Structure 1
Amino acid sequence: MVVPASSRPRALRLPRLLSRPGFHLFLTGALMVLGFVLAHRLSERSGRDQLSALSTERLELYASNLSAELGRHASLPSLLAIDPTLRALMQTPADAEARHAASQMLARVNVRAGTSQIFVADAQGQVLSASEPLTPPPRLAEAQAQGRTHFFAADPTTGSTDFYLLHVLRQANRTTAVIVVRFNLAPLEATWVDLGARSQGERILVADDQDVVIMSSVQPWKYTVLGHADPSRRQALQASARYPQAIGADLELPASLEVHQGQQVLLPLPGAKPMLAQQRQLVPLGLRLIALSDLTEVRQRAQIAAWGGAAFGASIGLLILYLSSRRRALRQLTQAQTQLQQAHAQLEQLVDSRTAELRQTNDALKAQIAQRLQTEGELLQASKLAVLGQMSAGLSHEVNQPLTALRALARNSQRLLENGRQDAVATNLQLMDDMVERMSQITRQLKSFARKADEQVTGSTPLLDCVRNALLLLEHRSRAMDLQTDVDIPAGLRVRAEANRLEQVLVNLFGNAMDAMQAGDERRLHVRVAAQDAEQRVLVQVQDSGVGVGEAELPHLFEPFFTTKPAGEGLGLGLVISAKIVQEFGGTLRAVRLERGMSFEFDLSVDSWESRDV
C-alpha cells in the first residue's frame, strides 16, 4: 500500500526537502536579501554618524572663524571714543575744522585697521565725520532706536554682506553721537565659496534673525529663506532695506535642527540630492550657521556594503548548495570529462581554422606593404618629373639662346672663311665650344635628376656639388627674379646620403623658397651648414627672405596635400617627400620661422670634412 505524502512522518520528508536544489536556491536568496538589508542599514547608519561627526567639527570651525572675523574689530569703536580728535568734535560738532580733522583721523585708522568705512553720526543719523563720503545705511536709525551694538546689512552696490559695529557717545546721560565701523564679509565668504567649489559635498549657510541667508558658500542660495515665506512676509522682508535684491526661493529647512545627529533634508531645488543638515546657533550675533552635507557618498558606500552583505549571504547559501550537490557532481564528473574532450577537439579545429585565416591575412598584408613601397617610389619619381615639368619652359629658353647664338656664329664663320680671316674664325669656334659645353652640362644634370634613384644606396656625397647642381636646375628662375644666392658650405664636406635624392630635397626647398620670395622686394637665398655633435653631424639650413607662413599653418606643413600656394600651383607633396628622404638619411626636416622669411633645416651624418671652417 502506498502511503500518501501528507501522512509520511516529518523526519522522512525533511531530508528529501533539504536535498532538493530548489530549496537551496530559495535559502540562498533569503540569506542574500537578509545580508543586503542588514549591511545596508548598518553601513548607512555608520556613514551618517561619521559624516555627522565630521560635519560637526567643521561647523564648529566655521563658527569659530566667523566669530573671530566679526570680533576682530569689536574694540575699535570704543578705542576711537577716547581719541582726543573725536572728543574735540563732540564739543563743537558744528565746527568744520573739527569735522575735517576727525575725518582725516578716521581715514588713517580705516586704512590701518583694514575696515571698509568708519564714520560718526549724531543722534538723528546725520554724518558728522567719516573716513570717506558716504550715505548712512537705512538700518542705522533702527539700530540706534533698539540700542543695538551691531547689525548686518547688505551692500546695495555689490550685494555682499556688511557688518556694522556701533558705539554710542553720551553726555549728561544723553546720546549725542554714535561711532560706526563697517567692514565687509566678502573675503570670508569668498573662502567659503572656494572651499565649496573644491568640496562639492558640503554647503555652508549663515541666516540672520529673519531666517534669510546672508552668507553662503553657494552664491545662488544667497538671500533665500530657510523655511517658508508667504507673499506678505516676503513683501515685509523686501521693505526692511536689509537685502539688496529680491528674496530668493524657500529652502524649506526645519526651524530647529539637531546639532550632533543632524537631519536628512531634500531642498526643493532642481537636481537637489538628499543632504544631512546641522546647525550651530551664534546667539550673541543672532545668527544660525547651517551645514549641509551630501549623503550621496554615504549611500554609495551603503550600497557597496549591502551588495557585500548580499554576496556574503549568497556565499553561505552557495556553500550549503555545494555541499549538498557535491555527491551529484561526482556522478557527473565522467560525463563532464567526455564533454571536455569534445570541446578540446573543437577548439583545436577552431585554432587551425584561425591560424589559416591569420596566415592568409599576413600574406595579404605583406602584399599591401610591397605595393605601398612601390607606390612611394613611383610617387617620389613623379614628384621629380613634376619639378622637371615646371622647369621645362625656363630650360627651353635657357637652351634656345645658345642655339640661336651658335647659328649666328656659324654663319659668321662662313663669311670670315671666305674673307680669309682665320683668327676671327678660331675665336668664333671657341665661343661655340663654350656654348655647347654649357648646354651639355644642363642636359647631363637633367638626365641625372630625372633618373630613378636607388633608395638602398647611401654613399659619400659632396654637399657643395649637390647644392650647385640644384641651383643649376633652377638657374633660369633665379636669373629671372634677380635672386641673390649666398652659399656658405665648405668644399671638402662630404655627407652620408644618396646624391640624386639629396638633390631632389634641395630642389624642392629652393623652389619653395623662390615661390615665397616671388612677390617680395628683397630676394635672398642663404644656404649654410653648422657643425653638430663634435662635427659628426651637420645641420643644413636653407633660409629665404620671403613672406613665410603663419603660426596656424606651421604644424601642417609636412602633412600630405597641404599647401599654401594658390590652387593649381602645388599638390602639397614636396615637403612630405623631402621629409621622408631626409628621414631615410637618418635626419629630420624641420621648419623654423625667422624674423623675415623661413628656414628649412635638416641634419646629416658627416663622412669626411677636410676643411673645418664652417
Structure 2
Amino acid sequence: MNPPSSLPFPASAASTAASPAARRRLQPWVLACAGLALAVLGAALGQRLSERAGLAQLAAVANERLELYAAGLEAELGRHAYLPGLLSVDTDVQALLARPDSEALRTQTRIKLARVRVRSGLSLAFISDAHGRVLASSNNYNPQGSIADTETAQEPDAEARRLALRLGERLLSGPGQFFAAHEDNGSSDYFLVQPLRRAGQRWGQIVLKLNLAPLEATWVDQGLRSQGEKLLVVDGQGVVIMSSVPTWKYHMLGSSSAEQRAALRASGHYAGTLEDTLGLDMKALSQQQNALVQLPSWDPARPQQRHRLLAQELAVVPLGLRLVTLSDPAEVWRQARFVAWGGAALGAALSLLALYLLARRRAHAELERQVSERTAELQLSNAELKRQIAQRLQAEDELMQAAKLAVLGQMSAGISHEINQPLTALRALSRNSLLLLDKGRYTTVGENLGAIDAMVERMSQITRQLKSFARKAQSASAPVSLAAAVEGARVLLGHRIEAEQVRLELAIAPELRVNCEANRLEQVLINLMANALDAMAELPLAEDGSPRPRHLRLSTAPFEDESKSPGERLGRVWVRVCDSGAGMAPEQMARLFEPFFTTKPPGQGLGLGLVISAKIVHEFGGTLRARPAGRSDDVGSLPGMCFEFDLELAPADYR
C-alpha cells in the first residue's frame, strides 16, 4: 500500500483550521439578526395581546352600558303602557263613541284627555272612530280647564287630524306601538294604539303619543361629555330613529334600493330623504359579539373624515328595535403601542444577554482586565430588570382593580334584583293611594302610606343586608315565626295575587318557629312566590278559552333525609312553595341554580333570585331544591313545580 504522503494534507488542515474562525466571525452577526427578529416578534406579540385584551375590556364595558340604555328606554316607554287600557273603559270615552256628533261629549272628553296628557307627560292623546275620523283630542285645553283659543284651537283637533291623515293606515292596522318622526322638528314620537270593540266589531281606537326628544337630548349630552361612545337606535326597517349624534339621525344603517327608500318615505314614519347611509352591515354584526367598523364623521367641520369604531348590538325584542353602541378604541391602540415598545425592549434585552454571554466566553482570557467594565454592564442590566419588575407589579395592581370593578358590577346587578320587588309594591300602593284620594277615602290612604313607609324600611334592610356580601358577618339566627314570615311575603305580593286571581293556600301551623334570620327568610319566600306567580302567568288557556285556575300552596312537611340521623330529622322541617304552572323541562331544571340563567323573556329577569335564595338557605344550614309537583302537593291538574328548603326547628317545636 502506498503511503498517504501524496495526499494534500496541509491544505486540508488549513481549511479545517479556517472553518472555526469563520464561524466565530459569523456568530455575532447571526445573534444580532436573531436579536432583531426577537425584538420584532416581541413587539408584534405584545401589541396583539394588548390590543385583544383592551378591545375585550372595552367591549365588556360597552355591553354593560348597552344593557343600561336598553333598560332605560324600556322603562321610559313602559310607564304609559297602562293608559290606553285605562281610557278604553272610561265612561266619557264610551259615551262619545256611542254619540260621536255630541259637541258636549266632545268637549268633556277633550278636557279629560288634556288632563291625562298633562299628568302623564304625553305629547298628544286623541280618540278616533272606526274609520279614523278624529272625535276628540287633548290639544285644545288650557290649564284653567277650558278650550284654549290658540293656534291649535282655532281648528279643533288640528294636530290629531294631521297625524290621522299622515299615519292613517298604521293607526287602523291594529293594536300595538310604533315609532314615527315628528312632522315639525324631526324628533322621534312613540305611539300607543288601543282598538275599541263592541260585539266583535271595531268601534274606534285610542291613540297616545309620547315625544322622546328629552330622552334623546340626554343621550346627546352624554355623547358630548363622553367622546368615546356613541349610541344608535335602529328600527326594523334599518333606519336610525334615535342617536346621540344628531347628524346620523334618519340615516339608513346599511345599503338600500331606491324603491325601498321611496316606500319608507311614503309611510310617513320618517323625516328627511333617507338617502344617506352609515354603511354598517347589521347582519354580520349580529353574528359576532363586536366588530370594528368605519363610520362618517359627526363633526360638521370635518365631513370627509372617517372614524374606526368598535360596534356592538343589542336587540330589544318587545319594541322591535336594535341598540348599537360605537366605542372609540383609540386609547386601546395607544396602550397597545406602549406594550409593543415594551415587547421590543424585552426582545432586545434577551439578544443583548446572548451577545454578552458570547463575548464573555470569547474573552475569557481577558476577564480580569474587563471586570470593572462587565460589572457596570451588569448594574445596567439589573436596573433594567428592576424597572420591568416594577412595571409588572403595576400591571398586576391594575388587573386586581379590574377584578374589583367586575365584582362591583355583579353586586349592582344583585341590588337591582333585590330592590325590584319592594319597588313594585311601592308603585302599586302609590297608584292605589292616588285613586283613593280622588274618592276621599283618607283613612285607607293613611294605611297605604304606612305600608309605603314599611316598604321603604324594607328596602333599607335589603341594602344593609347586601353589604354583608363584602365581609363575613356573624350569625344572627333566632327563633322566628314561620307563619309571620309567610304573612309578610303575602303582603308584599298581595296585589299580584289578587290581580292575577291566584288561589293562595297556607298550610302552616301558627305556632311553628324556626331558627333563622326573619328578614332573609322573608326574602327567600318572596323570591319563590314571585317565581311561582310568573310561571302561572304564562299558563295557556283552557279548551273553552277560559283562563286555567291558578293555585299557590305554601306548606310544611316532616324532614326526611336518609343521610341524617333520627335526632337530626326530628329537629328540622321542610318548607314548600308549590304552584300549578306548566312545569319545567329537565334540561332547564339542571341549570336552575346557575347565575344569570332565567327562563323569563329578556328584560324581565336577571337569573339571580334562586342563586341568592339558595345561598341564604345554605347559610341557615339547609338546602334549596326543586322538583315537579306531585299529587300530594294538591296544586291542580297541570304539572307545576315545587321549591322546598329545610330549616332548623326552634327547640320548643320538636321536644
Shift of residue 234 of structure 1? 2.2
Q: Does the CA-based 8 Å contact 1:124-1:141 persist in structure 2? A: no
- For 2:58, the aligned partner's letter is L
- For residue 289 of structure 2, the aligned residue among 239, 261, 268 is 261
- For 1:202, the aligned partner's letter is E
- For 1:264, the aligned partner's letter is L
How is 1:197-208 mapped onto 2 (pairs within 5 angstroms)?
Answer: 197-208=224-235
- For residue 310 of structure 1, the aligned residue among 344, 348, 373 is 344
Structure 1 residues 10 and 49, CA gap change in structure 2 (3 angstroms): farther
How is 1:56-71 mapped onto 2 (pairs within 5 angstroms)?
Answer: 56-71=63-78
Give the equivalent residue in structure 2 for 1:114. Answer: 121
Structure 1 residues 149 and 17, CA gap change in structure 2 (3 angstroms): same
Shift of residue 227 of structure 1? 0.6
- Given the two structures, how large is their TM-score scaled by the length of structure 2? 0.48
Q: Distance in 1 between matches of 2:188 and 2:15?
A: 82
- For residue 32 of structure 1, the aligned residue among 23, 36, 39 is 39
Does residue 295 (structure 1) correspond to residue 322 (structure 2)? The answer is no
Secondary structure of 1:90 counterpart: helix
Shift of residue 260 of structure 1? 6.7
Does residue 210 (structure 1) correspond to residue 234 (structure 2)? The answer is no
- For 2:263, the aligned partner's letter is A
Q: Does the CA-based 8 Å contact 2:261-2:275 persist in structure 1? A: no
Q: Distance in 1 between matches of 2:47 and 2:256?
A: 37
Structure 1 residues 63 and 259, CA gap change in structure 2 (3 angstroms): farther
Q: In terms of Rg, which structure is larger? A: 1
Does residue 322 (structure 1) correspond to residue 356 (structure 2)? The answer is yes
Q: Does the CA-based 8 Å contact 2:174-2:193 persist in structure 1? A: no
- For 2:211, the aligned partner's letter is N
Q: Distance in 2 between matches of 1:160 and 1:6?
A: 89
Does residue 95 (structure 1) correspond to residue 122 (structure 2)? The answer is no
Secondary structure of 2:76 counterpart: helix
Q: Structure 1, residues 62-101: CA drift from partner, whole Å, max 9, x if none?
A: 1111111111101111111112221221221110000000
Q: Structure 1, residues 545-578: CA drift from partner, whole Å, max 9, x if none?
A: xxxxxxxxxxxxxxxxxxxxxxxxxxxxxxxxxx
Give the equivalent residue in structure 2 for 1:157. Answer: 184
Secondary structure of 2:269 counterpart: coil
Shift of residue 56 of structure 1? 1.2
Q: Distance in 2 between matches of 1:244 and 1:136?
A: 15
Q: Does the CA-based 8 Å contact 1:275-1:293 persist in structure 2? A: yes
Structure 2 alignment gaps of length 5 or more: 1-9, 140-156, 298-303, 374-655
Shift of residue 10 of structure 1? 8.1
How is 1:104-253 mapped onto 2 (pairs within 5 angstroms)?
Answer: 104-132=111-139, 133=157, 134=159, 135-137=161-163, 138=165, 140-253=167-280
Q: Does the CA-based 8 Å contact 2:128-2:206 persist in structure 1? A: yes
Q: Distance in 2 between matches of 1:43 and 1:71?
A: 42
Q: Does the CA-based 8 Å contact 1:150-1:164 persist in structure 2? A: yes
Give the equivalent residue in structure 2 for 1:419. Answer: none
Q: Structure 1, residues 554-609: CA drift from partner, whole Å, max 9, x if none?
A: xxxxxxxxxxxxxxxxxxxxxxxxxxxxxxxxxxxxxxxxxxxxxxxxxxxxxxxx
Q: Structure 1, residues 106-131: CA drift from partner, whole Å, max 9, x if none?
A: 11111111111111111221110111
Q: Does the CA-based 8 Å contact 1:165-1:181 persist in structure 2? A: yes
- Given the two structures, how large is their TM-score scaled by the length of structure 1? 0.51
Structure 1 residues 53 and 333, CA gap change in structure 2 (3 angstroms): same
Give the equivalent residue in structure 1 for 2:497. Answer: none
Structure 1 residues 142 and 9, CA gap change in structure 2 (3 angstroms): farther
How is 1:149-548 mapped onto 2 (pairs within 5 angstroms)?
Answer: 149-256=176-283, 257-258=285-286, 261-267=289-295, 270-325=304-359
- For 1:198, the aligned partner's letter is R
Q: Structure 1, residues 377-426: CA drift from partner, whole Å, max 9, x if none?
A: xxxxxxxxxxxxxxxxxxxxxxxxxxxxxxxxxxxxxxxxxxxxxxxxxx
Query: Cα RMSD over matched residues?
Result: 2.7
Q: Distance in 1 between matches of 2:175 and 2:13?
A: 93
Q: Distance in 1 between matches of 2:166 and 2:130?
A: 14
Structure 1 residues 143 and 232, CA gap change in structure 2 (3 angstroms): closer
Shift of residue 296 of structure 1? 1.6
Structure 1 residues 140 and 237, CA gap change in structure 2 (3 angstroms): closer
Secondary structure of 2:295 counterpart: coil
Q: Distance in 1 between matches of 2:130 and 2:186?
A: 28
- For 2:309, the aligned partner's letter is M
**Identity score, percent:** 46
- For 1:41, the aligned partner's letter is R
Secondary structure of 1:63 counterpart: helix
How is 1:580-591 mapped onto 2 (pairs within 5 angstroms)?
Answer: none
Structure 1 alignment gaps of length 5 or more: 337-614
Q: Structure 1, residues 176-232: CA drift from partner, whole Å, max 9, x if none?
A: 111111111111111111111111111111111110100000000000001102333
- For 1:113, the aligned partner's letter is S
Q: Distance in 2 between matches of 1:93 and 1:281?
A: 42
Q: Does the CA-based 8 Å contact 1:281-1:287 persist in structure 2? A: yes
Secondary structure of 1:267 counterpart: strand
Q: Does the CA-based 8 Å contact 1:49-1:261 persist in structure 2? A: no
Q: Distance in 2 between matches of 1:284 and 1:190?
A: 23
Secondary structure of 2:184 counterpart: coil
